Amino acid sequence: MTSREWTAARDAAAKARTISPREHWERAEPFDMGHSTECMFLPRKPHPTTGYAIIEIRGRQVEAHRPIYKELIGPIPDDLELDHLCRQRACVNPWHMEPVTHRVNALRGYGVGALAARKRECRKGHPFNPENTYIHPRGQRVCRTCQVEANRRGRRRGRA
């Protein structure tokens, strides 16, 4: 075998071993982590430092959640990162992810949390819908009804 034939054979073997993001997704195992749908984990160890699931694509190790998201849901704008709403970095369930800016992703990292971000109602039970919600500059959602009530209380106190 010439060295070129050898290289070609090795590349072909590597390609045969590489499975697509969708196939990885199909091998993922569901775990109930307390969210409305299950987290999905690949049957292999996540990256030891980042905690993200890793797969191999064309001989390169990549974070699994991005290609799986692209294949199952669609393109991710270049300047956005995928935020794990479930806070399980090893989870590859693309429906647990939301493309956000790096800034939002970093801020959300400090515990405001995903599930708060996904809650459908404020603490007093007012709906988080477009009419009743505004986004605080720091990224949290604020209930307008509660905000109006708080302002009214503040004003009354001011007058007394």
The Cα–Cα gap between 160 and 145 comes to 23
Out of 57, 72, 76, 146, point to the residue binding Zn ion (CB under 5 A): 146
Residue range at the interface with Zn ion (CB under 5 A); choices 13-21, 61-69, 85-93, 101-109 = 85-93
- Token representation of residue 23: 């196939």
Tell me if 87 contacts Zn ion by CB under 5 A: no
Nearest distance in Å: CB 130, Zn ion: 15
Tell me 64's DSSP state: T
In the window 22-81, what residues touch Zn ion (CB under 5 A)? 39
Integer Cα distance of 96 and 17 in angstroms: 28
Distance between CA atoms of 87 and 79, rounded to whole angstroms? 21
Choice between 82 and 104, CB closer to Zn ion? 82
What's 130's DSSP letter?
Answer: G
Residues that bind Zn ion (CB under 5 A): 39, 86, 88, 91, 93, 96, 122, 124, 126, 143, 145-146
